[in-house]
Amino acid sequence: MAAPNKKHDRPTTGHSWDGIEEFDNPMPRWWLWTFYATIIWAVVYWILFPAWPLINGATAGVLGYSSRQDVEAEMVAVDEANAGWYQRLLDTDLNAIAEDPELQRFAVNAGAAIFRAQCSQCHGAGADGLRPGSGFPNLLDDEWMWGGTTEDIVQTVTYGIRNEDFPDARYSQMPSFGADGILSDEEITQVVNHVLNISGQAHDAALAEAGAEVFDLNCSSCHGVDGEGDQMQGAPALNNAIWLYGGSEADITASVQVAHFGVMPGFADRLSDAQIRAVASYVHQLGGGQ
């Protein structure tokens, strides 16, 4: 007589597929004890550490641990370690920082970190102004609307441009020649062709010749007779290939019709004087500092 099939003596889950049944075997004891241990550990963790979210925070835990406090302590330690260097930055003339290799190295490294945290959102991680025509200046070239010396950069970073937070913010405003009815559409077309001409771009010669007079009467007082710009007024040069809001005929026409009003925040209330000197030193050495 053949031995009985023992598999039918064991309970099953009731599932069957193509004649294959699933046994209802108990979980291994080691697995169950591990599972129970994780539950116990979770309960202990809830008691000891911050765990349960509340409306305005979370349960503190009996140990009083706070990752935020750890970060704050680390920041204090870093600030204390750098305090001497920052004091040297304050005590050293701006133009002499680059003459001290160690201090310059610290200023550039510290300034790079500050730039990435505070400035890269607008000027780009590489300080290239994100993209041409974006309205965010490229800090790698030698074209500066408000001056590119270290002192100039410190002034700009400290108070910003055209913002209402600081009375000492740099300020200038180009008229909206089209929207305000200062120039006719024909005159705008003429002056745009003149700008295309002095910037070395394709243009209509007859319109550019007429636009030279329009430019002289309406634009040269800020942008210069030859379109060289004026850093005292923050008026950009128009006789090169560097454009803040784009240099195509359509872009220039739009700028003349309705002037742009870019605003840069001041950082006097966000950064210390030493940090501003550090970021100015970093920007100045990128390649375009004057």
* Residue 123 marked as a ligand binder: yes
* Residue 223 marked as a ligand binder: yes
* Residue 222 marked as a ligand binder: yes
Instruction: Name residues whose C-beta falls within 8 Å of residue 259's C-beta, 6 or more positions apart in sequence.
Output: 173, 174, 175, 176, 177
* Residue 203 marked as a ligand binder: no
Give me the helices (H) in the chain, please: 29-48, 67-91, 101-118, 120-123, 150-159, 185-198, 205-218, 220-223, 249-257, 273-284
Burial class (CB in 10 A: 0-12, 13-18, 19+), 284: buried
The DSSP call for residue 36 is H
Q: Are the C-beta atoms of 148 and 233 separated by less than 8 Å?
A: no
Q: Are the C-beta atoms of 188 and 177 separated by less than 8 Å?
A: yes
* Residue 1 marked as a ligand binder: no
Neighbours of 175 (CB within 10 A): 14
* Residue 219 marked as a ligand binder: yes
Known binding positions for heme c = 119, 122-123, 174, 219, 222-223, 264
Known binding positions = 119, 122-123, 174, 219, 222-223, 264
